[in-house]
Amino acid sequence: MAREASRKPARAVVAAVQLPSVSDVEFDSSLAELRQLAKTLGFEVVATVTQKRASFDAAAYLGEGKRAELRALVEAQADLVLIDHEISPSQAHNLEKALGCEVMDRTMVILEIFHRHARSRAARAQVEIARLGYMAPRMREAAKLAGPKGRERSGVGGRAGSESQAELDRRKVRDRIAELQKELDAMHLERKTQRARRQERQGLARVALVGYTNAGKSTLMRALTASEALVADKLFATLDTTVRALQPEGVPRILVSDTVGFIKNLPHGLVASFKSTLDEALEASLLVHVVDASDPGFERQLVVTDAVLEEIGAKDVPRLLVFNKIDRGGDEAMLRANYPGCVVMSARREGDVAQLRAAIVAFFQQRMVEAELFLPWSAQKLRGEIFESCEVLSERTEGEGAFLRVRGEPEAVRRLRERLAA
């Protein structure tokens, strides 16, 4: 019986303060999102407690009366409380003391999801940096609350005689963050070199799937590239960038990348930590902005994604707006009327995926230029590269080589000219 009990999900109460500046729609949407985040962690949300206040309680976020109500609820049916804001270390400490249970704010919930889902070395390092940055002030608060007793350390192992445990912990955190950042910089340089080589071979026909978390980007990625991208009905199922070729391949060869999803109030430390992942959006020639058409609050997705893209410097990259999951709900006629040029589809319908693929190909083909390349007999090793990166319209041979009339991406044609002239 004990073993079965241990398998039961933790029961959580969601709690939030609604400020006068926040509308009911926005407030309800944010709470629904936190409940979905809790589900992603495997928590069972048993209740939601809200309070309208002019401002957050400086000591413990919620007012005294609401804290008493919440404590009674926790004692009756819950294991922990999830707060729909980022709260200060002292507020978290005081809330836990008042409620008698663990308290996780929105940032901690998101960090825990990222921690569980990170797979690659880069993603794990990025998450650890963000977690350390979040925990550092909380360690300082814990040390302050503990007081000076028992905190002094003797001067051994290279530590100063007056160095406290708190100071030692802070130094360890700083050193670990510096070490992780150094590793990330090395990995970033390696990825940059790999991308440069890839671009050298294939030109710059690149698409990045961007959008709100759980909008269906990975399902689209799988459908467009015939790949085995992870597909899960969970927030932040994808943290590592995946790059695959659009299938079936054509000319130009188009590379598609899936990126980490965005979310409202994404902790700034995570935006900064995942900048290298989001760099795929900066280097793309086209952003496919995926929106969940079945979400009644899809406008919020648009606003959040626009804000993050602006923050990373990608707001001017050409964009194709795609309303996905129309099979689950949504007003198709309204979407087409209000967002001219958008694609309304379901990633689970083959015909819809084919239409999106055609729209992506058309974007790149309209940018293609025609040119004539001279391929000397001594440079025939470049023939395969020409046929791979360009559409060859005609070919005629002369004494010293062949003249090929090609159609391709401007950058791909330029690179070929440079290599043939070398």
Residues 333-366 pLDDT 10s: 999 999 999 999 999 999 999 999 999 999 988 8
Question: Which among 140, 278, 76, 305 is positioned nearest to 211, based on CA atoms?
Answer: 305
Name the CATH superfamily, with its identifier, for domain 203-365: P-loop containing nucleotide triphosphate hydrolases (3.40.50.300)
Locate tokens 């977690």: which residue?
131
Q: How far apart are CA 184 and CA 175, in angstroms?
A: 14
pLDDT 10s digits, 126-145: 888 888 888 888 877 777 76
What is d(CA 177, CA 155) in angstroms, rounded to the nearest whole number?
24
- List, for residues 165-207, the tens digit of each pLDDT value: 777 878 888 899 899 989 888 887 877 776 666 555 555 688 9
Secondary structure element (H or E) that encloses residue 14, with its range: strand 11-18
pLDDT at res. 422: 75
Main-chain phi, psi angles of 316, to 5 degrees: -95, 0
Judged against a pLDDT cut of 60, whether residue 159 lies above it is answered with no
Same fold flag, 10-114 and 203-365: yes
Q: Sketch the domain layout of the chain as residue ranges.
A: 10-114, 119-154+163-200, 203-365, 369-421
pLDDT at 242 (0 to 100): 73
pLDDT at residue 305, as a whole number: 84
Write down the mean pLDDT value for the chain: 83
Q: Is pLDDT of 272 > 70?
A: no
Distance CA 245, CA 202 (A): 11
Whether residue 39 has pLDDT greater than 50: yes
pLDDT at 158 over 50: no
Confidence of residue 396 (pLDDT cuts 50, 70, 90): very high
Which of the given ranges, 21-30, 52-61, 300-309, 406-415, has the highest pLDDT on average? 52-61
Q: Which amino acid is residue 279, in one-letter code? A: D
Whether the predicted pLDDT of 294 surpasses 60: yes
pLDDT of residue 394: 94
pLDDT band (50, 70, 90) for residue 163: low
The whole-number average pLDDT for the span 372-383 is 92
Residue 217's pLDDT is 87
CATH class, domain 10-114, is alpha beta
